[in-house]
């Protein structure tokens, strides 16, 4: 195992996100539960931080990208997205768990590719 010089944030949807999903017009998905929605959450790597507040501040800096990513993972049509995508709304719609220790258990290089910035 190897220590990785990153922290981790787990982005977990909250009830307002679920309410938006279930209210999208012509939604043909089965009725989701919050537990089901939170069971497989987005995990992002962050720089290492000395204090959890520093990690939260970093999430604040990139919240627009995270909000867009979460919305687009369900609906790419931005006209279906909520109009209010402010920092305040982000924190009302998502819990963010910060974890300071990341271990790599795979003895191979990590492959990565840039995310579409749109």
What is the tens place of the pLDDT at every residue in 71-105?
999 999 999 999 999 999 999 999 999 999 889 89
Q: What is the pLDDT of residues 58-80, one digit of tens each?
A: 999 999 999 999 999 999 999 99
Element spanning 67, H or E: helix 52-72
Domain limits of the chain? Answer: 9-104
Strand partners, 9: 44, 98
Radius of gyration of the chain (CA): 16
From 11-25, 28-42, 104-118, the region with the lowest mean pLDDT: 104-118
Q: DSSP code of 14?
A: -
Please give the Cα distance from 80 to 24 (Å, whole number): 7
Q: Is residue 95 within 8 Å of 12, Cβ to Cβ?
A: yes
pLDDT-derived band of residue 28, with 50, 70 and 90 as boundaries? Answer: confident
Give residue 70's pLDDT. Answer: 97
Q: Is the pLDDT higher at 51 or at 31? A: 51
Please report the pLDDT score of residue 117 as a whole number: 53
Instruction: Give the pLDDT score at 30.
Output: 73
What are phi and psi for residue 68, nearest 5 degrees?
-60, -45
């Amino acid at each position: 195992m190897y220590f990785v010089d990153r922290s981790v944030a787990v982005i977990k949807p909250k009830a307002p996100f679920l309410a938006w999903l279930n209210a999208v017009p012509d939604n043909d998905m089965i009725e989701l539960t919050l537990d089901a929605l939170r069971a497989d959450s987005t995990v992002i790597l962050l720089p290492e931080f000395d204090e959890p507040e520093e990690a939260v501040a970093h999430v604040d800096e990139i919240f627009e990208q995270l909000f867009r990513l979460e919305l687009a993972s369900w609906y790419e049509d931005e006209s279906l997205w909520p109009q209010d995508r402010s920092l305040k709304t982000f924190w009302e719609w998502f819990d963010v768990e910060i974890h300071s220790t990341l271990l790599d258990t795979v003895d191979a290089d990590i492959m990565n590719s840039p995310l579409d910035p749109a």
